[in-house]
Every structure is written in C-alpha cells, then in structure tokens.
Structure 1
Amino acid sequence: MNATSALSSASAQPRPMPDIASQAPSHSTPLSWVGMENIALPLQLAGQSLSAQADIGVDLITAQARGIHMSRLYLALQELPQQTLDVPSLRQLLQRCISSQDGLAQQALVNLRGELLLKRPALLSDLHGYKIYPVQIRARQQPWGFQVELGVTITYSSTCPCSAALARQLIQQRFSADFTGEDLPHQQVLDWLGTSAGIVATPHSQRSFASLSVRLNEDTCELPLLALIERAEASLGTAVQTAVKRADEQAFALANGQNLMFCEDAARRLHQALLQMPGHAAFKLKVVHAESLHAHDAVARSRHNWS
C-alpha cells in the first residue's frame, strides 16, 4: 500500500477525538465556581428587549475530574432568550446546568446584567423620552434551596437642605437691606421676588444615584423590576427627566424644592418604600449624592434581613 492509500484508509476510519477534560487531575482540589463570564445574550423581560451579558457556572465537587462540561452550560443558556425571563425559567436553567454535569456539580449560578430602556413621560406636558436603567438578575441553585436577587440603579436629583436654608437666609438679608422701615405694597414685594436682585442665592442640587438590591421570596414567580423602579422613584419624588417643556422644568424645580434631601433622607425614604413592597424577603441599598459643592460624594447605605 502506498502512502496515499494509507492516508485514505486512515481518513475513512476516524479515531475518537481526545477529551482532555475527562483525564484525571494532577491534584484533588474541589472548586467553588467554574464557568464563563460576559456572554452576550438577548433577553425578554417585562415586555422589553434587554441586551445582556451573562455569567454562568457551577461548582466542581468531583476530585477525579479535571474540568466541567463547560459547553453544556453555554448551550443551556442559549435557551433563555426563547422565553420570557421569570423565576421559573431561571430555576429550570440552573437545574439543567447541574444535571448536565453528570454528577460533577451540585450548585449553579447565573448572573445577568443589562440596561432596561423604558419610555418615561414628562411631568406635565405631552412629551416623553427614554431612560436607561442598569439592572442585574442573579440566581443560584444550591442543594438547600433556590434564590433570586434583583438589582437596579435609579438616577434622581437631590437638593441640599442646608444649602436651601442658607440661600433663604441670604434672600431675607437682601430683602431687609433693600426695604428697611418701608411699608410695602403687595405688588412691589411680588416684583422684587421676581428679580435676580432679590433672589441673590439658590440652593445647590446634584445628580444622585440609588442602587437597590432585593432578594425575592421563594414563592415569587415574576421578576418585579418595573414595580421596584416605580416604587423607588415615587418615594424620592425627583427622578431625572427626559424631554421637557418649560412647564415640566418648573414642575421639576417645584419637586426639588418640596423634596430637600441629604443622602440620609434619601436612604431612609427608600428603606421605608422597600419595606412596604411585597414579594421579597430581604433588601439592601446604597445612595450616592455626587456633590456639586464638594469634590467628593456623600453616601448612605441601609439593609433589611440581608446577610
């Protein structure tokens, strides 16, 4: 048989491909997590399309295995975009991940990150625009239970109460200096209040951020991200706007004036709002006021039943 004939014969009878992962490891250390991160994934959540990145993995408990069946995790994840994302679909995904490992694993975790794009109306006018809400969904299946956590970041405006009080004091002082001893008619006072000469100081406000995380009850089926956003923004009263007319901008100025907040105030408002929200067993939150007066941020945190 010549070389060409021998090569053709070998090609007709292919050998099994090598499976390096099935070989025995050089040591017997179990691993708490093995998987993949930053997998691009389109998702359907609450009627919205979500461009997400996914981390998915399992533990490796079998000392005799060099590695897990990683491609099986990827293939299981690809079924998630085919359905509306909810708690049962996440549970099913993780159970499939564990069973796909043929006894190598007993825990699985998936972490989904993306930006939810929501249409938001103006405060008074018929305008509207779109806002991005960074969201995170984290699910874990363990031998002793299944757990889902939701996270979202809310952007809002915060006006400093101390700055507002100091500004009012300066306005009072200017009023006293301009009209000492005078008996003023109503219209003259009204005209003075409408000038920059009268309103000599304004309080400072800043764009602020609230990062919320909730751990869902075991009997919860939906992922209540929209309800979480709505409740948080309602409790703060000054969610940032999209398209506005002057009437909307004036209404926003009024909302800020009626919702003066230190970071401590914002954290307490959100804490009370989450306490009254059904469907979750625990939560934690962090607020950041990106100071316009200082070169640093003011931060407050709170938690309930979170360990």
Structure 2
Amino acid sequence: MPDIAAEARPALAGVLDWVGMGEIEMPLMLQAEDGRTVSSGARVNAFVNLKRGDVRGIHMSRLYLHVDKALSNEPVTPASVRRLLRDFLESHAELSDRAMISLRFEHLVRRAALASDNSGWKSYPVTITGVMDRGHFALELGLEAAYSSTCPCSAALARQLIQEQFESDFASGQPLDREAVLAWLGTEQGIRATPHSQRSIAEVKLRLVPSFQNFPIVEIIDRIEGALKTPVQTAVKRVDEQAFALLNGQNLMFCEDAARRMQDALEQDGRISDFWLRATHQESLHPHDAVAVATKGVPGGYTALPDGLAAR
C-alpha cells in the first residue's frame, strides 16, 4: 500500500514544532488514594515534533496505537507517562526528538455534607501533561476547584445599612428591649442588606518533585479547598446551607485574598517544586470577572500569564 507521508517530499521544506492528534477519546484509569482503581473518560492530545524538513509527515496511527495500549492496560502514573513518551519517540526515530501527551478528564470525588449525614459527588477537571524534550522529562498536574467568595466590601456596606436601620427603628436614648432586638434581627426589615457572593474557580498548575509514584489529585484538591474554606457543596439540607452561610461569613475574601491563601498552601507542600495559580471570582455585581494570578517564583519556571496559560 502506498505511504505518502513516508515517500512523498513536502512542497515546502520546514521543521515543525508539534504534529499529532488532538481530542482523542480514550478511557483512563487512576489509582485512588484508598487503593481503588478509578475510571474516567478522557480527551487526549498526543504530539511529536518533526525535525526533518525534507519529510512530509509523521506516523499518526502509531501515536494513536501507543496511547490506546498504554491507557487500556494500566493506571496512569508518572512512570507510565514517561514510558508512553519514549514509545512515541522510538516509533518516530530519525523524525522526532520531542514528544508530548496531555490527558484531560473529570475526576469524581464523593464529598460529605457540612452538617448532615448526607454526601454527594463532585467533579473536578484534571489535566495531566507530560513532555519529553531531548531526553529531559517534565510533568505537570493541572486542577480546578469551585468555591464561594463573599465580597468584603459588600459585607461592610451591608453592615452599614443594617446599622442605619437599627438606628431608625430603635430611638436614641430609649431603653433597649432585648427580646425586641432579638426579634428584629430575625426580620427582613432588620437585616435589610446582604453582601454579594459568587461562584469562583481556583485553577492550579503544578510541577511535582520526581519521587512520587501516583498523582496526588485528591490530596492537592483538599489542600486548596482547605485553604479557601468555602468549597461548593453537593447534598445540602437546611443545616448544611446554614453551615455554608457561616463559612462564607467567616471567610470574606477578594480574589487577591483567595490567591494568597492558595499560594501559602502550595508553598508549604514539599511535593510541589513549582506552581501557577489563578483565582477567578465570577462577579454577581459586575458582568466581568475579578482575577488574581500568582506563581512560586522559581527562576526559569512558570510565568504568570493572566489569560490562563502557564508558560515556562
């Protein structure tokens, strides 16, 4: 059978940074923290470079078959990603000296309610990216988590309006009736204003130290959510909603505060050699988002690009 990619010469010579396949649909297995094997549906990008300008194309089918074999036979680990990239390069000897794989999927975690005995499933977007560049292996873990953010400025303005209403309803110089004040605090007239809150998104991209055996996905998510303190909930009864309202009231934060909380939490994790993070507050007051970005500041490491790219 004719092989045009191997036999034909290109009309224009030129080396290419990346050539491959995008959005391959594949199953994916991961080893959970409790030892279980967890399966997800993934979208895979598989690439090699084309360093020879006189060759028309790479062997796309070889990339696909390597991906299929690797993801179908064993859970994804740092070691398996490294082996897969080596397979890419060995199957493209003389054509390529760089290879890349990215795996994008949703990781489901069962979360307990804040106060009741209920629990529910929460989905976290995860991306694992590996690059083999002339013998140098780099691995990145990307995660997203949704949380709630209540504006400190809005909270202060709401408190001022409540104070003004109190001053209007309870005349100066008159004795205060404790029961009347307590009843007033439970009315819409008394609490006449509330601060605005919004669903917010925490995004992190991490370079992990090379000694780990599996991807600590849930551990890192727990660290981020523990720092932010207001992760969105799944199963919610009234007692859970009240507990969530309390958490929001005790954790007023601008996007800058959220970014600094995550920054501090990631700085203290010895498994992380470099990081990029972004806090996005999807404003309920404005038609635009409030955004803060931070990096670890490693020389030659991540560059803080607010558009969501984590470049080196």
Deviation string for 1:134-177 (max 9, x for gaps)?
Answer: 11111001114101111111111100001111111111111111
Give 1:221 deviation, angstroms. 2.7
Q: Does residue 248 in structure 1 map to residue 212 in structure 2?
A: no
Show the counterpart of 2:216: 224
Residue identity in the other structure for 1:70: M
AA of the residue aligned to 1:50: S
SS at match of 1:207: strand
Q: Is the partner of 2:190 in helix, strand or coil?
A: coil
Residue 295 of structure 2 aligns to a residue whose secondary structure is: strand
| Structure 2: gaps (5+ residues) | 303-311
Paired residues for 1:283-302 under 5 Å: 283-302=275-294
Aligned partner of 2:75 in structure 1 is 84
| CA deviation after TM superposition for structure 1 residue 29, in Å | 1.3
Contact 2:25–2:41 (CA under 8 A) maintained in structure 1 = yes
| Residue number in structure 2 paired with 1:63 | 53
Contact 1:210 1:287 in 2 (8 A): yes
The structure-2 alpha-carbon separation of the partners of 1:144 and 1:96, relative to structure 1 and needing over 3 Å to count, comes to closer
Q: How big is the alpha-carbon RMSD for the aligned residues of Structure 1 and Structure 2?
A: 1.3
Higher Cα Rg, which structure: 1
For residue 94 of structure 2, the aligned residue among 81, 103, 116 is 103
Residue 163 of structure 1 is aligned with which of 154, 158, 172?
Answer: 154
Shift of 1:281: 1.3
Residue correspondences, number: 291
2:209–2:273: 8 Å Cα contact kept in structure 1?
A: yes
- The equivalent of 1:152 in structure 2 is 143
Is the partner of 2:122 in helix, strand or coil? strand
Whole-Å separation in 1 of the counterparts to 2:174 and 2:29: 67
CA contact (8 A) 2:209 2:271 kept: yes
Paired residue type of 1:244: V
Asked if residue 20 in structure 1 is aligned to residue 12 in structure 2, the reply is: no
Runs of 5+ unmatched residues, structure 1: 1-16
Equivalent position to 1:118, from 99, 105, 109: 109
> Residue in 1 aligned with 2:120?
129
Q: Tell me which moved more, 239-248 or 43-52.
A: 43-52
Mapping of residues 188-227 of structure 1, within 5 Å: 188-227=180-219
Alignment of 1:133-144 (within 5 A): 133-144=124-135
Alpha-carbon distance in 1 for matches of 2:211, 2:131: 15
For residues 31 and 220 of structure 1, the distance between their equivalents in structure 2, rounded to whole angstroms, comes to 33
Q: Aligned AA for 1:182?
A: Q
Partner AA of 1:251 in structure 2: A
